Amino acid sequence: MTTLWQRWLLTFLVVLVALAAGDLLSLKFFIANKLYQLEGFQWSLKHHFITEAVLHDGVRTLNLIAVASLLIITLLQFIPGKRGSQKRSYVLLLLSVLLSFGLVNYLKATLGMDCPWDLFSSCAAPTSLLTTLRQLSFAGP
């Protein structure tokens, strides 16, 4: 019988190995290259309704609504007299969501990998996140 922590650790390790394998094998660039080739070596769907309005702007709006809702729910936990509240759990969830969004924005700003459309805008081969991190770590001050 496995404990909850063992299952979480196993799940984390499987996801970590899958992400590392995908990055080392450059699967995301392989898929993007195939889509780029199918579109005639241009991002013809860049301004399509589904990719721009739904997948880009719509998901950003959905994220904003989700974070605002989580903030409201967290603040409601601090109403005096509320029984059985889970203040700590909601605060930790809110902090983890805000930290993850902040970390993604920080990495996008510092690594120069802001938008997937920019990866194939030049003839240069795209670089993976791990390659960029390795280059930054060996560059030194």
pLDDT at 49: 82
In percent, the amount of the chain with pLDDT more than 90 equals 24
- Give Dmax over CA atoms of the chain in angstroms: 63
Predicted confidence (pLDDT) at residue 124 exceeds the cutoff of 50: no
Least confident of 49-53, 64-68, 98-102, 130-134: 130-134
pLDDT at 60: 87
Q: Which residue has the higher pLDDT, 2 or 134?
A: 2
List, for residues 21-71, the tens digit of each pLDDT value: 888 887 877 877 787 788 787 777 777 888 788 888 888 899 899 999 999
CA distance 100 to 108: 12
CA distance 21 to 25: 6
pLDDT at 137: 61
> Among the residues of 25-119, which ranges form H helices?
27-38, 59-76, 87-111
pTM for the whole structure: 0.55
pLDDT at 91: 92
CA distance 65 to 61: 6
State the chain's mean pLDDT as an integer: 79
